[in-house]
Amino acid sequence: MTRGKIMDDPIIARRLKKASVGIAGAGGLGSNVAMALARAGIGHLVIVDFDIVEEKNLNRQQYFLDQVGQYKVEALKHNIARAVRGCMVEAIKLKLEKGKMTGPFEGVDVVVEALDSAEAKAGLIEEVLMNLPGKPIVAASGVAGYGHSERVFFRRSGDLYLVQDEEAKSSDEDVLLAPKVGLFAYYQANTVLELLLGVEK
């Protein structure tokens, strides 16, 4: 197949259009995952976050100065609508509480873990694996810092797909900046495509 034919592949486009992806968190990981998946042609995103855009978020998150003060899920839905056609975004303003984190994601094909604290990450992973058997979850750990792109690797354990840098410091002790957070977010988004479409031949 030539490159042009692949790019215009109607089968891939149709499958992505029919897919739905849940994103837990609309911060540095979630906002970048959402933009990448919307641009790739995913038809339906369910994005859950309770937070408001702050100016300090703009060093890594897909928002703009004039959106400071808005709910992240609403600002993100707006930004996606400005970027591409045909991506339906369900913007859910909700803090995911322990014990009921999976509710919004029952109907999606893949869940993306894009939360901030390690506690919340572990909680969501546990609950998706226990409550939604067979549903893939794509998580990220170790996004703080800069450089060391070669340390980022990917491991799979059953339905858990984890993009990680095991040597990274916690975000309490190191900076969060667009390049490394974006690297993880795009790695996660690329993994979502592979889960939806199968491994590229």
Partner 1 sequence: MEGETVTRLLKRMRYVFPLVVVKIDGTVIPRDRFKETRIPDNVEVEVMHLTSGG
Sketch the per residue contact string, 148 through 187, with partner 1: x for CB under 8 A, - otherwise.
Answer: -------x-xx-x-x-xxx-xxxxx-x-x----x------
Name residues contacting partner 1, limited to 52-81 (CB under 8 A): none
Q: Applying CB under 8 A, does 119 fall inside the site for partner 1?
A: yes
Q: Applying CB under 8 A, does 41 fall inside the site for partner 1?
A: no
Binding-site member from 56, 100, 118, 149 for partner 1 (CB under 8 A):
118
- Between strands 88-93 and 20-24, the pairing is unpaired
Smallest distance, Å, CB 104 to partner 1? 17
Smallest distance, Å, CB 196 to partner 1? 22
Residue of 3, 2, 19 whose CA lies nearest to 136 = 19
CA-based Rg of the chain, rounded to a whole angstrom? 16
Q: Applying CB under 8 A, does 115 fall inside the site for partner 1?
A: yes
Q: Applying CB under 8 A, does 129 fall inside the site for partner 1?
A: yes
153: β partners? 164
Q: List for the chain the helix, strand, coil content (%; round to 5).
A: 45, 20, 40
Q: For 102-159, list the strands marked E by DSSP.
A: 110-113, 137-141, 153-157
